[in-house]
Amino acid sequence: MSKAAAIREMSSEQLEHELKGAQQSLFKLRVQAATERNDTPSAARKLRRTIARILTIQRERIEG
């Protein structure tokens, strides 16, 4: 199952919770990058893509 399919199976409340968690994690990674203690540079990219997937699916539900 793809990540998008797994996200589509979540309820709206679960999506909102996942979005907030991903945004907080991204903020923490940005702080680590600013202090040059970023262990996994690719983690920020993965989180940004996850956030984009969640936002896209939320928009699809509103429009469709």
* pLDDT (0 to 100) of residue 64: 78
* pLDDT (0 to 100) of residue 54: 97
Confidence band of 1 (pLDDT split at 50, 70, 90) = low
Contacts 24+ apart (CB under 8 A), 51-55: 51/19, 51/22, 51/23, 51/26, 53/3, 53/4, 53/7, 54/7, 54/15, 54/18, 54/19, 54/22, 55/19
* pLDDT (0 to 100) of residue 62: 92
* pLDDT (0 to 100) of residue 39: 76
- In tens, the pLDDT along 4-57 reads 999 999 999 999 999 999 999 999 999 988 888 777 889 999 999 999 999 999
- CATH match of 3-63 with 1.10.260.40: no
